Homo-oligomer: A and B are copies of this chain.
Amino acid sequence: MSERIIIVGGVAGGASVATRLRRLNEDAAITMYEAGPYISFANCGLPYYVGQTIPDRENLFVSTPEDMRDDFNIDVQVNSKVTAIDPAAKTITVQTTNGTKTDSYDKLILSIGASPVVPHFPGLAEADNVFTVRTVPDVDKITAYINQHSPRHATVVGGGFIGLEMVENLRERGLNVTLVEATPQVMPNLDFEMVQFLHEHLALNNVDVRLNTKLEAFADNGHTLQLADGEGLETDLVILAIGVKPNSQLAQDAGINTNERGFISVNKHFETNLPDVYAIGDVISVENAITKQTVSIPLAGPANRQGRYLADYLAGFDRQNPAVLGTSVAKVFALTTASTGANERQLKAANIDYQVIHLHPNSSAGYYPGAAPIELKVLFAPDGDILGAQAVGTKGVAKRIDIISTAIRFHAKVAELADIEVAYAPPYASAKDPVNFAGYMAGDLQDNLVATIQWNEVDALLANDAYFLDVRNPDELLAEPALDNAVNIPRSEIRDHLSELPKDQPIYVYCAAGLRGYNVVRILVQHGFEAINLDGGLKTYRTAKY
């Protein structure tokens, strides 16, 4: 008899494991149970449907139960929630619109995802205008509410990528938007000085950004938000986007092990502790490729890939779930922000030593119209392993993070970024690409050609009367003043003024972006000075203080 495979959850992970399994095993009897009304939909497109960038609701459906039946001979049951697993009997209980039924499996695959976190806020139960964004019905409700009530003001609670995408798309719909974020920053994958570019850009786009601001309660049927700072914020529509929690109750009830945050624990073959029960996608914890810690990385790429790895493993191929970098990208109005690997906060938490570089290269040749700065930060270990990268800008941002993501995947050392052949013609890159620059700068640090300080070390040095040398041109100082008490000698005149510089104390050199400062440091150290460059120049320092 053919093997009976049951898949619970029919979207990113579930649909992917199903189709690949079928391609590898024409014989198996594959049934997919999906609690919601739809399978295989574009979760990631949902915010853009609200904003009408995706105008056609049909476009949200990548595949349908009919396609699964006709193309893949897969039996799909929607509106069918699996409510219990009996691992001894190898059966599941399914709650359908017609009541409850049982089904039995040889292999059971859980790709049951995660759900938006919705804390028990006082007053939430009385609110009719509070929504989350995870499913098509969710955005149907938001759209219906907008169409019926013509709200003028929306509040998005939570500044992760889903929150920011909702901010942008609600602005697209013409609403005034307040963003309420409990921590000091949006986009937790970025470090503070990088995310400041986003904070500034959100403000420019007339988003009322409230950082360090906690939502405490709803009043007035959800039309007033009580914030921790005491303010009562009036609003017409509220989106809660404060994170996701794994849908693992079903699994826990069946005796499947989860970690302390509720994510299902699996081995490299997606095996749970129950025989013949596997789990993939947002509901599992995975190994972080950098910190080696067990984390949750709820992203569509991993979920899709895990589906395929698992199908392969079940079909007898030797596939393992590789550790995950968590490479990701988000559009925030005109800006793109992307990252891969770990950030400073994660590295500190994991006790991993690192060095940092910041640079602001052009996305393409500066002499060709349309080049735009990329704010790039790269983190690397003393042994040269690349630990992470973050980038913000209007152009070419995802490309550079993808290149670095690839380099990390294949164990490149940071200085080897210099050797990467990035395809160059003026509209696309520079003869020395931003990625190459990062390799140069990191190599220079490793080779002790330069020492640097970071933006967050400046103020303490200023307070201690450290010697700062500003090597910009006088006209630049008019546009952006020097640091207090800094001495100004333009880069091109340094060699003529060496005798004026102190030999008995460190000289902290800076320019606008770091490049000239570095060049001056090279001159000074070779003349016997102790010179140190401000990494990222004034741009990183000032943006961090924005």
How close is A311's CB to chain B, nearest CB, in angstroms? Answer: 12
Residues of B within 8 A of A436 (CB): 305
User: What is the minimal beta-carbon distance from A400 to any residue of chain B, in angstroms?
Assistant: 9
With A48-B368, A365-B44, A431-B44 given, is the CB distance from A423 to B401 under 8 Å? yes
Interface residues of A in 19-52 (CB under 8 A from B): 22-27, 42, 44-45, 48
Q: Determine the residue in chain B with the shortest Cβ distance to A331.
A: B427
State the CA gap A71–B473 with chains docked (Å).
Answer: 12
The answer to whether A83 has its CB under 8 Å from any CB of chain B is: no
Per the bound structure, the CA–CA distance linking A420 and B401 in Å amounts to 12
How far, in angstroms, from A299 to B426 measured CA to CA in the complex?
Answer: 12
The stretch of A128-136, A234-242, A319-327, A531-539 that contacts the partner chain: A319-327
CB distance from A170 to the nearest CB of B (A): 17
B45 close to A426 (CB less than 8 A): yes
Q: Are B410 and A327 in contact (CB under 8 A)?
A: no
Q: Is the CB of A367 within 8 A of B440?
A: no
The 8 A CB mask of A239-262 against B (1 = contact, 0 = none) is: 000000000000000000000000
Which residues in B have their C-beta under 8 angstroms from that of A48?
368, 426
Interface centre among A70, A328, A422 (most CB of B within 10 A): A422
In chain B, what residue has the closest Cβ to A411? B410
Given A26-B523, A403-B402, does the pair A53, B423 have CB atoms closer than 8 Å?
no
Contacts of A300 in B (CB 8 A): 424, 431
Q: Is the CB of B305 within 8 A of A419?
A: yes
A297-333 to B contact mask, C-beta < 8 Å, 1/0: 0011111110010000000010000101111111100
- Among A54-62, A88-96, A150-158, A478-486, the stretch that binds chain B is A54-62
Assess the B519–A421 pair: CB atoms within 8 A.
no
Contact indicator A42/B409 (Cβ below 8 Å) = no
Interface assignment of A149: CB less than 8 Å from any CB of chain B: no
Determine whether the beta carbon of A526 is less than 8 Å from that of B26: yes
Binary CB contact string for chain A from 401 to 441 against chain B (1 if under 8 A, 0 otherwise): 11101110111100010111111111111011100100010
Residues of B within 8 A of A424 (CB): 44, 299-301, 328-329
Judge whether A348 is part of the interface by a CB distance below 8 angstroms: no
Decide if A304 touches B432 in the complex (CB within 8 Å): yes
In the assembled complex, the CB of A194 is this many whole angstroms from the nearest CB of chain B, namely 15
Residue contact B422 to A301, C-beta cutoff 8 Å: yes
Question: Which residue of chain B has the shortest Cβ distance to A516 in the bound complex?
Answer: B71
> A161 within 8 Å of B by Cβ?
yes
Which residue of B is nearest A396, CB measured?
Answer: B399
- The distance from the CB of A125 to the nearest CB of chain B, in whole angstroms, is 33
CA distance A336 to B424 in the complex (A): 12
Q: Is A492 an interface position by the 8 A CB rule?
A: yes
* Contacting pair B305 A492 (CB below 8 A): no
**In whole angstroms, what is the CA distance A300 to B436 when docked?**
13
- Chain B residues lying within 8 Å of A201, measured Cβ to Cβ, are none
Distance between Cα atoms of A345 and B261 in the complex (Å): 55
Residues of B within 8 A of A429 (CB): 329, 398
Known: A304-B432, A527-B26. A71 touches B340 (CB 8 A): no
- Determine if A141 is an interface residue (Cβ-Cβ < 8 Å): no
CB-based nearest B residue for A450: B23
Q: Are A369 and B54 in contact, CB atoms less than 8 angstroms apart?
A: yes
Q: CB distance B23 to A449 under 8 Å?
A: yes
Chain B residue nearest to A493 in the complex (CB):
B70
In the bound complex, what is the Cα–Cα distance between A62 and B428 (angstroms)? 17
Cβ–Cβ contact B409 & A422, under 8 A: no
A338: Cβ under 8 A from any B Cβ: yes
Known A-B contacts A44-B365, A367-B62; A421 and B27 likewise in contact (beta carbons under 8 Å) = no
* Interface status of A488 (Cβ within 8 A of chain B): no
Min C-beta distance of A363 to chain B, whole Å: 11
B423/A398 in contact, CB under 8 A? yes
A4, CB-defined interface residue at 8 Å: no
A32 to B249, CA, bound (A): 72
Evaluate contact between A409 and B419: CB separation under 8 angstroms.
Answer: yes
Which residue of B has the minimal Cβ distance to A419? B322
Measured between beta carbons, the chain B residues less than 8 angstroms from A59 are: 367
Do B54 and A367 touch across chains, with their CB atoms under 8 A apart? Answer: yes
Q: How many angstroms between the C-alpha atoms of A264 and B418 in the bound complex? A: 24
Q: Taking the complex as formed, is A447 at the interface, i.e. its CB lies under 8 A from any CB of chain B?
A: yes
Closest CB-CB distance, A177 to chain B, in whole Å? Answer: 19
* B428 pairs with A336, CB closer than 8 A: yes
Residues of B within 8 A of A368 (CB): 45, 48, 53-54
Are B369 and A432 in contact (CB-based, < 8 A)? no
- Cβ of A214 within 8 Å of any chain B Cβ, yes or no, is no
Chain B residues with CB below 8 A from A71, complex form: 491-492, 519
13 contacts between A and B (CB under 8 A): A12-B431, A25-B526, A70-B493, A165-B425, A305-B419, A324-B421, A328-B425, A329-B425, A339-B423, A340-B423, A398-B429, A402-B403, A409-B412
The 4 closest A-B pairs by CB, nearest first: A410-B410, A329-B423, A70-B492, A327-B421
Q: Can you name 13 extra interface pairs (CB under 8 A) apart from A67-B492, A328-B423?
A: A27-B526, A48-B426, A54-B367, A54-B369, A71-B491, A299-B424, A301-B421, A326-B421, A327-B423, A330-B425, A331-B427, A398-B399, A405-B421
